[in-house]
Amino acid sequence: MGLLSRICSPRWGVAGGNPPIPLYVKGAVPKRRDGGFSRPGGLSNVGRRKAAVLPLLFLSVALALLAACAPKQTQTPPAKSLFTSFLVEADWLNANLSAPELALIDLRAAADYRQGHIPGAVNLSMAQITDPRNPVRGMLAPRAEMESIMRGLGVSQDSLVAIYDDGGAPGPGRLFWALHYYGMERIAVLNGGYAGWRKQGLPTDTAAATKAAGNYTATPNPSRSADKDYVKRSIGKAGTVILDVRSPAEYEGSVKSAQRGGHIPGAINVDWTNNLATVDGVARLKPADELRRLYEGLGITRDKEVIVHCQTGVRAGQTYFTLRYLGYGQVRLYDGSWEEWGNDASLPVAVGKGSDAPMR
C-alpha cells in the first residue's frame, strides 16, 4: 500500500485513527543523537528555531495530504446545442427529428399538410402571424399574439425552430424574420423544403402533430426592424443600403401595386428570386460564395447596414434570412414596405431603372 493510500485508509487520521506523522508537541523533551535526552531549556538558539519551524512544516504536510484525500469535484459539461446554422439540409434534419429541443413548423397550405408532412411538424398559416387590424396590409402580428401562437405550437425559449415550405416560396424567410425580430436566435430554414425532402425519399407522416404548450417569450429587437421614418432618414446615408427585392418591373414603376409606382430613392434592386437556384425540380438557396459575389458586386457589403423591403415584407423576409445566413450583422426589414411607402403621398418616390433614377 502506497503512502497516500495508507494515509487515506480508515486506520489513519483521515478516518479518525492515529495521524501518520507525529507532530512536535510543545514541552516534549527532544532526544539527543547520542540517545540521551536534553532539557527543553538546554536547546541552542538554532535548535529552538528549528523546533519552532517543525510544527508548521508538519502541519502543512498534513493539510496537503488531507486535501489529496478529499473527494474530487466533477463539473458536468454544458449540453451541446443542436443549433449550428440558419440553413439546414434534409439529412441533418432527418437525423435530429427526435431531438427534444426541435420545434418543426410546416408553412404549407393546411390541405397539403394533411396529405403528408415531415414527422413531428406542426402546421402554421402565414395569416396567423399577420395583423388584420393594422391599416397597412401585411404587417406583423403584435408581440402578445406572436408569443401566444408560438407557445401553442410548442415553441419554448430553448427551442431550435426549423421552418419549411415547398422549397421555392418566401414564407420561411418571413417567419425567420418575425422570430428573429421577436428575440429568437436559434432558427433554421430547411434547404429545398418539403420538395427536397420527398426527393430524397425521407419519411413522411399524415397524422397531425400535437405539442405541449411552450414557454417562448417574445422580446422585440428594434435593431432588426425599420419604420418609414427610419427609412426616410436613411436615404443617401453613408454606410447604409436600401435594398428593394421586388421584381424589376415593380422597382421601375411599370407595374404598380400601390397608388404610386417606382421605388424609394437610392434603393438598389435585387429580386429575391436571385437567391435561389432550381436543380432537379427543387428550389434551393444558391451556394454562399455565389451569393456573396452577387451582393458584394453591387456594393452591398457586410460592413454596411442593409434595410430590405418588398411589397408587404414577405419576399423581403427571404432576403433578410439570406443576408443573415451570409453573416451580415446589420440587417433590418422595413415591414411597411411598398404597401405603406407607395400609398403615402408625403414620401419621395423615384421612377425608372437604377438607384439614381429621378424622383417624382
Cross-strand partners of 307: 242, 332
Alpha helices in the chain (DSSP H): 3-8, 45-69, 90-95, 110-115, 143-152, 171-181, 193-199, 228-234, 248-252, 288-296, 314-325, 337-341
How many angstroms separate the CA atoms of 301 and 303, rounded?
6
- The secondary structure of residue 37, as a DSSP letter, is B
Helix (H) or strand (E) holding 160: strand 160-164
Task: Give the C-alpha separation, 202 to 302, whole Å.
Answer: 36
How many CB atoms lie under 10 A from the CB of residue 189? 25
Active-site residue, selected from the candidate residues 118, 150, 310, 326: 310
Give the integer Cα–Cα distance in Å for 305 and 356: 19
Task: Give the whole-angstrom CA distance, residue 170 versus residue 315.
Answer: 5
Instruction: Please confirm, yes or no, whether 310 is among the known catalytic residues.
Output: yes
First and final CA of the chain: distance in angstroms? 95
Pair type for strands 268-269 and 122-123: unpaired
| Neighbour tally for 118: CB within 10 Å | 25
Angle at 167 between CA 96 and CA 170, to 5 degrees: 110
CA–CA distance, 143 with 217 (Å, rounded to integer): 9
DSSP helix/strand/coil, 188: strand
Return the C-alpha cell found at 140.
Answer: 406583423
Q: Which residues are catalytic?
A: 310
